[in-house]
Structure 1
Amino acid sequence: MRPRTSKPRTAVVIGGGFSGLASAALLARDGLEVTLLEARGALGGRAGEWREQGFRFETGPSWYLMPEVFDRFFQQMGTSAQAELDLVPLDPAYRVFFEGESEPFDLPDQDSLQALKSLEETPGSLDAYMASAAETCRLATDRLLYSTYSSLRDFTDPALIRRLPRLLRLLGEPLERFISRHTTDPRVQKILGYPAVFLGTSPRAAPSLYHLMSHLDINQSVLHPRGGFSAVVEAAARLGRGHGADLRTSCRVQHIAASAGRAAGVHFTNADGDREFLAADVVVSSADMHHTEMDLLAAEHRTRSSRAWKRRDPGPGAVLALLGVKGELPELAHHSLFFTENWQQGFDEISGAEAPAGPPRSLYVCRPSATDAVAPPGDENLFVLVPTRADETLGSGGAGGAGDAPVEQIVDESIRQIAAWSGIKDLEERVYVRRSIGPADFAREFGAWRGGALGPAHTLRQSAFLRGPIRSPKLRGLYYAGSTTMPGIGVPMCLISAELVRDSLRRDSRNEAQERSDA
């Protein structure tokens, strides 16, 4: 038997986005000596910031959904979301502009289901749909999302077995068809189907299990953390540091070292450009899994081959526009959605099934200045997200219209579309601060596979235990967190993946201790 030692175990976390920060915080609270290495100059990953002429733009997530997941993370860190964040309910939760419709639709914070029903000319069965969404969401948060499916017990949970026939039906039926059985109104169908974009896919490709997403914005309030998601990043970093985690920026990991079948640490380039080696008992990579496996690991330690990656669906890319606008824009809500009449064509273009046809496009606009102090007094801050195909060749963005021509063209067309649909005729002339971000930026800045904006699409073959492992099957002591592994895309899923890493490490540590005692 090996002698016992009081020295804490060491862990290195690759990446300072939400999953990396949460992993570092949870492991530090468990008593590990944790060092986090972030390649960029600031923490947050995709949840970044850009400041210009009195504006503070956020470059990543903007929807605070699944508050119970945030609550659970903060509780596990010994605090609460209420103590760490200033959360404000939005009313309306969001505004929807439909192509060809003269008036937008506002989803109110209260009585939202009744408001949705008011759109239907022929009543459907929305009560049943929303009841099913609520039940499925509870099952997901209680059972499905917090499981690694690493043992037979995960599949023999009595709660799952009782619901297995229904779960199999929801997995086998596309979301689009499931929605159409509950409402015939195309506007309502789009409102129920748009969350598929947050899953990196389309209503036609997503399993209907994901109708649970409608529970999050229709049955629950849509919240906004004052300070935006930067405030959530700061809270996670503050908690991690409070438990001893060393969070380093401008440190780019080059290689994950291995010894005797175990992860042994990482080679990285520090802020001065010098090469260092950091030994560790445990390595957690929250970087894009394709980047981790193909760039940071030796070939014998990779889970998937290059050929296998080519069969995966990377989800959508995106063109982002950060716009500082002179004067107020009451025509837009905090969250505004723009849906084209033939929106399936847009999904087909994103998936590569059809060639891009140009505007109009379905897109999303965030006006955080409606709620938060992110713009000079009297002016407005807009964040525009235009889903595209995940294709680095579309190019990079830039400040002041200096990005690659295809990216800037999409931004120009989107500004004109927003102006026309919302009735802001002079919007283009009022923009005086502008920056664009393209798929090539996602690939360069975040190592995003094929320039994807969110992560691999939540198709049937890329969901749950088919998505990606939490624990490396090839290298002991290596774990994965983030949107490219279980449970999936979005800040709540990244927080859950960090908890799955912590729980897997606890279980592995117990098993290894037992092995040593038996030796």
Structure 2
Amino acid sequence: MTAETTPAAGRRVAVIGGGIAGLGTAALLAAEGYEVDVFEQQDTVGGRAGSVAVDGFRFDTGPSWYLMPEVFEHFFRLLGTTVEEQLDLRVLDPAYRVFYEGEPGGEQPPPLDVVADTDANLATFEAVEPGAGARLAAYLESSSEAYEVALRHFLYTSFTSPLALASPDVLRRLPRLLPLLVRSLEDFVAARFTDVRLRQVLGYPAVFLGSSPDRAPSLYHLMSGLDLTGGVMYPQGGFTRLIEAVAQQATRHGTRIHTGATVVGVGTEDLTPTGRRGLRSRLRGRGPRARATGVRWRDADGVEHEHRADVVVGAGDLHHLETRLLPEHLRTYPQRYWDRRSSGPGAVLVLLGVRGELPTMPHHSLFFTSDWHANFDAIFAGQVPSPASAYVCKPSATDPGVAPEGHENLFVLVPVPADPGLGRGGADGRGDPAVEAVADAAIDQVARWAGVPDLAERVVVRRTIGPGDFSADLNAWRGGMLGPGHTLRQSAMFRARNRSRRVDGLLYAGSSTIPGIGLPMCLISAELVLKQLRGDTSSGPSPEPADAAPARPADLAVGGR
């Protein structure tokens, strides 16, 4: 069956948002035969996975960890290509280095490297804590099982068919999986490891999920199998290259991408109830009350336009779409829903161009404070922690194209409260005071812990981004950097679904909805839109085209190549 003869032929789709979820949705639907238009309010696509170029430096302003490689492989194979054709991936070794604050008054512990070899990581754990190597091996075996089950049954589903989840594969594992939902990741790790440094290595992935180790379910220990087994990679050209590759696939299949196009409303047409049963259904709030007819959008000159469509996909911030682009009676997730939900943290991003080399820091570095509870409690209580744990990416360690010769590129991320009131960033220290104070403290902390005492004096380019920027530029709920955090009541079937209950033909993709936060999750959410339109209620990935490049055994292994 060709695209011209599918039910999609002639049907128009409007996608709101040109981040990876919107572009991925557009590519898949255009390949299916839909006529797709993407509306992105910024001048460039990418959303949270943005890019900034300053004086010969190029900074990624969002995601920087390439994990779950099999998800990217599957996505590109659905479009008739491969990751190898689209990206130049490099395995990072070490995967990352961890710097520790140490106890007050004591010496700073030496940094710990996580490398691309699993056996070496087991040996590192054993050297820190006798017996920890064997316990880590068991931990990774458990994480591998949880990850594989998640890929087969829980990530590629909209949870519309309970029977699809009741497979023998899932039922056989329920005695091991259910306890992982009700126990925190922190408790799960603490029951196996004593040394605080090892606990932090295994607990920090909760931050990538917009949560903290004591708030995230221990099921998310599945993340540890991704970076402790050689799964951290980097696409040459940065993550903006990944965005370009997905956008190219969208346009190759016929998608039209409009930038500088701000959607100001979702067009709807009321559905008239038919019969007494239909009227009762509407009165009880069941079933759609309207159908989507397109979007209203404003161009860069302020002129408003109307774009007719049979399907609308909200691929930006779900809170913004539901509370700003829909009338109140058509909202599936009104403000009262969000008032009962918790956001992931906000962030201050510090983009630094540095003169000279920084040999003590590899591509990825993590800076952990000794008192994690105080750190995370402060963030979720609306206070900026001091000192704060931080993450530093130095892509110039791998990619010479991101910095001029003789210079380094640093991306510093400091988790802070999701609060636009902290302000916006700026150039050369001219951002709002609270944002610049966080940046100053982070630069000083990195300089001391990584042994670069003159770091501040060597900075030749400085740009900051704060929660106010996330709110203004990305319509991010509460100015958060990631979206709703992955707590138990905001994970899996408890997370916002990808279809409106009030508006027929209105679907959702992105980090606000299932399956959740992260580039791979956003690509899966794009596929869930495709499955919804196909009427596919299966719980696994969509079948790949018969002529797609076959998956290699290594592609299917947890942690990737």
**TM-score range for the pair, normalised by the shorter chain length:** over 0.9
Of 205, 221, 225, 1:195 maps to 205
Name the CA shift for 1:296/1:171 in 2 (closer, same or farther; >3 Å): same
Structure 2 residue aligned with 1:71:
73
CA contact (8 A) 2:37 2:256 kept: yes
CA contact (8 A) 1:324 1:381 kept: yes
Note if contact 1:454-1:489 (Cα within 8 Å) is conserved in structure 2.
yes
Go from structure 1 to structure 2 and tell me whether the alpha carbon gap of 1:6 and 1:239 turns closer, same or farther (over 3 Å shift).
Answer: closer
Q: Tell me whether 1:106 sits opposite 2:106 in the alignment.
A: no
1:59 maps to what in 2? 61
1:176 is the counterpart of 2:186? yes
495-504 or 267-276, which moves further after superposition? 267-276
Indicate if the aligned counterparts of 1:93 and 1:106 stay in contact, CA closer than 8 A: yes
SS in 2 for 1:219: coil
Choose from 122, 126, 131 the match for 1:123: 131
TM-score relative to the length of structure 2: 0.88
Read off the aligned partner of 1:163 and give its amino acid letter.
R
Q: Report if the CA contact (8 A) 2:8-2:33 is conserved.
A: no
Q: Give how far 1:5 is off.
A: 9.3
Cα offset, 1:508, TM superposition: 7.9
Is the 1:13–1:283 Cα contact (8 Å) retained in structure 2?
Answer: yes
Correspondent of 2:397 among 370, 383, 386: 370
1:241-260 → structure 2 map (5 Å cutoff)? 241-259=251-269, 260=271
**Structure 2 residue 154 is the aligned partner of structure 1 residue 144:** yes
SS in 2 for 1:191: helix
- Percentage of identical aligned residues: 52
1:410 aligns with 2:441: no
Q: 1:461-476 residue pairs with structure 2 within 5 A?
A: 461-476=489-504
User: Are positions 1:309 and 2:316 aligned together?
Assistant: no
CA shift, 1:6, in A, is: 9.3
In the alignment, structure 1 residue 231 sits paired with structure 2 residue 241: yes
**Aligned equivalents of 2:52, 2:219: Cα separation in 1:** 36
> What is the Cα deviation at residue 102 of structure 1?
4.1
Name stretches of at least 5 consecutive residues in structure 1 with no aligned partner.
Answer: 510-519
Alpha-carbon deviations, 1:475-500, whole Å to 9, x = none? Answer: 11000000000000000000000000
Contact persistence 1:119–1:187 (CA under 8 A)? no
Match of 1:323 in 2: 352
3-state DSSP of counterpart to 2:413: strand
Distance in structure 2 (CA, Å) of the matches to 1:151 and 1:93: 39
Whole-Å Cα distance in 2 between the matches of residues 266 and 322 of structure 1?
35
Q: Give, in whole Å, the separation in 2 of the partners of 1:5 and 1:503.
A: 13
Q: Which residue is equivalent to 1:18? A: 20
Shift of 1:308: 2.2
8 A contact 1:112–1:218 mirrored in 2: no
Q: CA deviation at 1:74?
A: 0.4
Give the direction of change, closer, same or farther, for the CA distance of 1:264–1:186 in structure 2 (3 Å limit).
Answer: same
User: In 2, distance between residues paired with 1:7 and 1:468?
Assistant: 29
Within 2, Cα distance between the matches of 1:470 and 1:357? 35
SS at match of 2:504: coil
Secondary structure, counterpart of 1:319 in structure 2: strand
Out of 400, 404, 407, the residue aligned to residue 379 of structure 1 is 407
Q: CA deviation at 1:160?
A: 1.7
Residue type at the aligned position of 1:64: Y
Deviation at residue 134 of structure 1 after TM alignment = 0.7
Residue 438 of structure 1 deviates from its aligned partner by: 0.3
Q: Offset at 1:118?
A: 3.3
Q: Structure 1 residues 5 and 23, CA, compared in 2 at 3 Å: closer, same or farther?
A: closer
Offset from partner CA, 1:392-413 (integer Å, 9 cap, x none) = 1100000111100000000001
Work out which of the residue numbers 322, 339, 344 in structure 1 matches 2:373.
344
Alignment partner of 1:158 is 2:177 = no
The answer as to whether partners of 2:383 and 2:416 remain within 8 angstroms in 1 is: no
Deviation at 1:180? Answer: 1.1
Could you say what secondary structure the match of 2:228 adopts?
helix
Cα distance between partner residues in 2 of 1:265 and 1:187: 52
Cα shift at 1:292? 0.6
Give the letter for the 2:227 counterpart. Answer: D
Listed one character per residue, the Cα deviations across residues 249-278 of structure 1 (whole Å, up to 9, x for unaligned) are 100000001113211100000233210000
Aligned to 1:516: none
Partners of 1:163 and 1:345 lie apart in 2 by 36
1:355 is displaced (CA, Å) by 4.0
- Partner of 1:328: helix, strand, or coil? coil
In the alignment, the residues of structure 2 paired with residue 492 and residue 357 of structure 1 have an alpha-carbon distance, to the nearest angstrom, of: 30
Aligned equivalent of 1:31: 33
Q: Which runs of 4+ in 1 moved over 3 A?
A: 4-7, 354-357
Alignment of 1:218-297 (within 5 A): 218-259=228-269, 260=271, 261-297=290-326
SS in 2 for 1:118: helix
- Asked whether the 8 Å contact 2:350–2:439 carries over to 1, the reply is yes
Gaps of 5+ in 2: 1-5, 103-107, 272-289, 538-561
Worse-superposed segment, 256-265 or 149-158: 149-158
**Contact 1:398–1:435 (8 Å) recurs in 2:** yes
Superimposed CA distance per residue, residues 116-146 of structure 1 (whole angstroms, 9 cap, x where no aligned partner): 4234323132111110001111111111101
Q: Letter of the aligned partner of 2:256 in structure 1?
A: D
CA RMSD of aligned residues (A): 1.5
Paired residue secondary structure (2:503): coil
Q: Distance in 2 between matches of 1:476 and 1:233?
A: 30
In structure 2, C-alpha distance between the alignment counterparts of 1:59 and 1:175, rounded to whole Å: 28
Could you tell me how far apart the structure 1 residues matched to 2:7 and 2:339 are?
Answer: 46
The alpha-carbon distance between structure 1 residues 184 and 6, as it changes in their structure 2 partners (threshold 3 A), is closer
Aligned to 2:545: none
Query: What is the one-letter code of the residue matched to 1:371?
Result: T
Cα deviation code 1:356-380 (max 9, x no counterpart): 452x211000000000120010100
Q: Is residue 122–residue 185 contact of structure 1 (8 Å, CA) maintained in 2?
A: no
CA contact (8 A) 2:157 2:528 kept: yes
Paired residues of 1:112 and 1:219 also in contact (CA < 8 A): no
Closer/same/farther in 2, CA of residues 401 and 229 from structure 1, 3 Å limit: same
1:451 to 476, 479, 482: 479
Alignment-mate amino acid for residue 68 of structure 1: E
Write the distance in 2 (CA, Å) between the matches of 1:228 and 1:103.
Answer: 29
2:446 & 2:146 partners in 1: Cα distance? 35
SS at match of 2:402: coil
Indicate conservation of the 8 Å contact 2:68/2:231, yes or no: no
CA distance in 2, matches of 1:117, 1:395: 41
Task: Indicate the residue corresponding to 2:196 in structure 1.
Answer: 186
Distance 1:395 1:47 in 2: 20
What corresponds to 1:517 in structure 2? none
Q: Which amino acid aligns with 1:255?
A: G
C-alpha contact 1:122 1:184 (8 A) present in aligned 2:
no
When structure 1 is superposed on structure 2, of 105-114 and 376-385 the one drifting more is 105-114
What is the identity, as a one-letter code, of the residue corresponding to 1:172? V
- The TM-score, its normalising length taken from structure 1, stands at 0.95
Select between 155-164 and 310-319 the one with higher mean Cα deviation.
155-164
